[in-house]
Amino acid sequence: MVHCIKCGADNPDDAEFCNKCGSRVDTKGVHEPYKRAKDECFGLPHGSSIFALFIGLIIIIWGITQVLKIEIDWWPFIVILFGILVIAGAVYGLARRRR
């Protein structure tokens, strides 16, 4: 049985609309938070793609510094990038909750 969120009436499992009030009965939304969390990384949608872009950026910058013989201390740079990802995820999460 599926319960209507609006009026609380019992409906068959395959019902799309409530038999009592006619509002949409959506059973697919139950699993949405899990799907959203699975598709996110650092709290950002498609965050794994964003993370891959950051790793690619680090590799490209490292290659340029090797060709130009520039010495860079990499750990602070990497920590800053991870910090940016974490902050962006937190800001996105707060903005999503306000909707």
The DSSP result for 16-44, as a single string, is SB-TTT--B--SGGGGHHHHHHHHEETTE
Q: 3-7, 36-40, 70-74: which has the highest mean pLDDT? A: 70-74
- Give per-residue pLDDT as tens, 73-98: 888 888 888 888 888 888 887 777 77
Question: For residues 27 and 39, what is the distance between their CA atoms, to the nearest angstrom?
Answer: 20
Nearest one of 27, 33, 40, 28 to 1, comparing CA atoms: 27
Using an 8 Å Cβ cutoff, are 21 and 4 in contact?
A: yes
Higher-confidence residue of 68 and 8: namely 68
- Residue matched to tokens 């996110």: 40
Whether the model pTM is above 0.85:
no
Name the range with the highest mean pLDDT among 27-36, 63-72, 73-82, 89-98: 63-72
Greater pLDDT, 56 or 45: 56
What are residue 17's DSSP bridge partners? Answer: 24
Whether the CA torsion 58, 61, 67, 69 is positive or negative: it is negative
